[in-house]
Structure 1
Amino acid sequence: MSSQRFYTGDEQGLVKVVTITEPVVVKPKRVRRGQPTPEAPPKPVPTVETWGIPDREKAVQFLCWDSEKKYLAVARKNGLVQLLDPKDGTVATEFKHTFGKEGKVDTIFVGLFASSESIITCTNTGRLVVQSIADHSKATVLDVGKDICRMRVHPREHHIVATGGKEQELTLWDLKALCKDTVEEETPEPATKKGKKNSKKAPAPAPAKEAEKKAGGPEARYKSKEILANGQIFKAKNVKNDHLDLRVPVWNTDVQFLNQYDTSRIAVGTWNHQIRVYDIKSGARRPAVDAEVGEMPVVAMANGKDGSEIVFSDTVTNVYSVDTLTGAIIGQYKGFTGVATALATFIPFENDSTAHLVTVAMDRCLRVHEMTKTRKLLHKVYLKQRMTAVVVGEYTPAEPAEDEEDGEVSNKKKRTEGEGDDDENDDDLWESMGKLEDKKSKKRKLAKE
């Protein structure tokens, strides 16, 4: 039997391991008349393993693998970031970020990435932290702007970071250059008698403000195409005014790199139900593709099997597939009764062209769809809590059973043993046919006489 594993996170702070086991389907033999019809193939059997204790303060906001797929990184509501062992869920290491409130808005994570050396996190306040795993005292804190809705790290070039948000255009940052210019290390020091910590931190200068000073103010910064803030390698430009000559509001909700080898093409989903694709190599700051998709804001995005397709969900129950070259909707995945909060695509079999889409939604279900023209729903698992994150685990292929191998061998033996019998039966048949001819000839002779 083959099995596929998924890891999910929910609002109760639980991490669940969902294993879907598909039984081996034996090809039915030819059914002859009078024989009973073969039984239907057995359905896949899902098993669910739960890690943790329900606690809303530890609600899972993001899940991801580290670059070597040894640990599972978890970002929680209370600012806790953990590395879990994917075998039993034990905590390998953890870090705590201090969260507060800015006005009426709570601080939340908007991005998570883990490599073998560091963990990169970002909050909606624009606080981007590069935390060393080996040395807990080393943490570089950077400012990437306010009202950030999504941060994503390039899958191969781990120093390239993309951000976007409310009135925050798509921006690419180079962490190597940014860390050289603005570095802030958090070193935990013992508390004083009054309970206050003696922390000496050099304030990190805002890169955007420094660039504005050099360029002569914010207006000059936006007029020039060449002037970028420290660490920025690309900053998008808003689209042209609408037909009423009014400014189009900027509200980017998700970002996705379409090419895993470079940063040539990037897709962005917006709150105003738009999918925009930027071609970085062309030098243009405005999107090469700007299409309205549906009528509701974009919630989450995931790459298709290649860079020409992207899948997104909105604030209702719609999950669409979009062509990134034209902006046209290719099709819709059905069967949802809640908002799909997280998407992921994967190819379960090696050297297979059929990709699968796994989603978790607010209706407390995990679904697996086939990414073909039919978009067939393959699996649906009810998980009790409202889900917020999902990642794809390992795939275990089916191994041939011993009985099947023995059966094949026995069939081969029967065939080889039966070859001589068939020849003898053929000889007997011809002899019997000859005897029949003799009988007919005798009858003819008797009739003549």
Structure 2
Amino acid sequence: MADLVKGISLESTRAPIDVWIGTSLGVLKGVCLPTGRATNYLPASITLSQTDKRKEVTVMCWEDESHDALYCGRRDGIVQKFSCQDRLFTAECDCTGGEGQFVGLGKHNEVLITCTDRGSLCYWPLDTDKTERCVGDDVSCMAVSPKAQLQVATGGKENDLKVWDGNKLDQPIFQAKNVKNDKLDLRVPVWVTRLGYTLNSGDQPVIAVGTGHHQLRLYDTRAQRRPVYSTVFGEHPITTLKMSQDGRSYFVGNSAGEMGRVELRTGGVVSRYRGFGGGVRCIEEWGEGEQSLIAATGLDRYLRVYSAHRPKLLHQVYLKLQCSCLLFSNESVKEPNLPEMKSLPETETETVDCESSGDEDQLWNRMETIKDTRNTIKKRSICHVEVKQSKKRKLRTK
């Protein structure tokens, strides 16, 4: 693995952080949900004026299950480590193992896993050199198995689902087969945009797939190469997919701002989450059972938090920058009153409070009186008809 650059510091505040968000300009934002406050985090060597699209945080992942540190993968190929306890960047490394930007990032034990959109899948051990494998051209996404060590799944445009074992990268351990031709006997195009492992997946996982042709598919690698089912969600490309904590459903979002919860076995949409003004970029879940929460960000620069089982909007925070990815913090677990948030109204209305009847009379007196013009319109239409009839009579007499 590349040498780490130590000692990157950052000003930090000690307010509890519930959600960490990567943005389009490389700024890491920490959001406190009860107060709705967002704090910016940048390395000491970079100021806000120096941020640009080349430093965009495209992928994020936790270092381990303790959630004490996270990794941010930038567009320029740099991976930064951020300590959530100390609120500062502690290290960074150059992981430009191949051309292109990151489409996936993960960590198993002491191995960092990256994948770029040009198909360069790299394993970066701390003590040895990297292992690299080309997984095909035009890769759109990579997902890391939550159970099987060093196992990842990849997919892209005309690059169907493949499952790889990091211990033997000679060939994939599973390669999906395209669905059958459509009713016109035409080949169905392949465009895998998002992947999601079920939480109980082992060496032979069950994987949910979203496509750029608004299709949702479920693959059981133990049973067959073709999907168990294939259905559609909306009419726009799937941009994000996240498996639920209970393993019975998954959450999807598309480029038109539509977000829903899909049942895993049947593919039916159980509930929909509304309010987005642009494409949904990332979805994360926290908690279990009735207390679970859903956080989602998108191109409209808002962070929205919903109740997972009841599609109600609980929190909405404007972040000023376009958001690309997010992670739920471990501090959310330590916040006992977080699931008891009050629901926000779906539409905001402006109300006027009148302290006395006199103020109310003054309010009505200042209003402009609007006259009913329907009678005048009727009179004009009648006169217009009479003029037309008189002209016709004159033409007949002639």
Q: Post-superposition shift, 1:250?
A: 0.4
Does 2:121 match 1:128? yes
Structure 1: which amino acid aligns with 2:325? A
Does 2:166 match 1:175? yes
Structure 2: which amino acid aligns with 1:49? T
In the alignment, the residues of structure 2 paired with residue 339 and residue 12 of structure 1 have an alpha-carbon distance, to the nearest angstrom, of: 18
- Residue ranges of structure 1 left out of the alignment (5+ in a row): 22-44, 102-106, 179-229, 400-449
Q: 1:58 to 1:3 in 2, by over 3 A?
A: closer
In the alignment, the residues of structure 2 paired with residue 311 and residue 62 of structure 1 have an alpha-carbon distance, to the nearest angstrom, of: 18
Does 2:258 match 1:296? no
Mapping of residues 140-155 of structure 1, within 5 Å: 140-155=131-146
Aligned 8 A contact 1:258 1:266 in 2:
yes
- Residue ranges of structure 2 left out of the alignment (5+ in a row): 1-14, 338-398
Q: Post-superposition shift, 1:260?
A: 3.3
In the alignment, the residues of structure 1 paired with residue 89 and residue 200 of structure 2 have an alpha-carbon distance, to the nearest angstrom, of: 30
Structure 2: which amino acid aligns with 1:143? C
Structure 1: which amino acid aligns with 2:39? E
Aligned 8 A contact 2:98 2:116 in 1:
no
Q: Post-superposition shift, 1:251?
A: 0.4
In the alignment, the residues of structure 2 paired with residue 164 and residue 19 of structure 1 have an alpha-carbon distance, to the nearest angstrom, of: 35
Does 2:155 match 1:164? yes
In the alignment, the residues of structure 2 paired with residue 341 and residue 311 of structure 1 have an alpha-carbon distance, to the nearest angstrom, of: 12
- In structure 2, what is the equivalent of residue 119 of structure 1? 112
In the alignment, the residues of structure 1 paired with residue 110 and residue 180 of structure 2 have an alpha-carbon distance, to the nearest angstrom, of: 42
1:397 to 328, 332, 335: 335
- In structure 1, what is the equivalent of residue 76 of structure 2? 78
Q: Post-superposition shift, 1:236?
A: 0.6
Q: Post-superposition shift, 1:305?
A: 3.3
Aligned 8 A contact 2:120 2:133 in 1:
yes
TM-score by length of 2: 0.74
Mapping of residues 331-342 of structure 1, within 5 Å: 331-342=271-282
| Superposed structure 1 runs of 4+ greater than 6 Å apart | none
Q: Post-superposition shift, 1:3?
A: 6.2
In the alignment, the residues of structure 2 paired with residue 382 and residue 3 of structure 1 have an alpha-carbon distance, to the nearest angstrom, of: 18
Structure 2: which amino acid aligns with 1:267? A
Q: Post-superposition shift, 1:344?
A: 0.5
3-state SS in 2 of match to 1:311: strand
Q: 1:325 to 1:240 in 2, by over 3 A?
A: same
3-state SS in 2 of match to 1:379: strand
- In structure 2, what is the equivalent of residue 19 of structure 1? 32
Q: 1:328 to 1:398 in 2, by over 3 A?
A: closer
Does 2:218 match 1:277? yes
Q: Deviations over 1:170-221 (max 9, x none)?
A: 111111112xxxxxxxxxxxxxxxxxxxxxxxxxxxxxxxxxxxxxxxxxxx
Aligned 8 A contact 1:175 1:231 in 2:
no
- In structure 2, what is the equivalent of residue 90 of structure 1? 88
Q: 1:377 to 1:4 in 2, by over 3 A?
A: farther
Q: Post-superposition shift, 1:51?
A: 0.6
Q: Post-superposition shift, 1:12?
A: 1.1
In the alignment, the residues of structure 2 paired with residue 16 and residue 4 of structure 1 have an alpha-carbon distance, to the nearest angstrom, of: 9
Instruction: Note the aligned Cα RMSD (angstroms).
Output: 2.0
2:291 to 338, 354, 365: 354
Structure ID, larger Rg? 1
Q: Post-superposition shift, 1:130?
A: 0.9
Q: Deviations over 1:223-265 (max 9, x none)?
A: xxxxxxx331111100000111111000000110123342431
In the alignment, the residues of structure 1 paired with residue 96 and residue 58 of structure 2 have an alpha-carbon distance, to the nearest angstrom, of: 16
1:48 to 38, 51, 74: 38
Does 2:6 match 1:9? no
3-state SS in 2 of match to 1:155: coil
Q: Post-superposition shift, 1:335?
A: 1.2
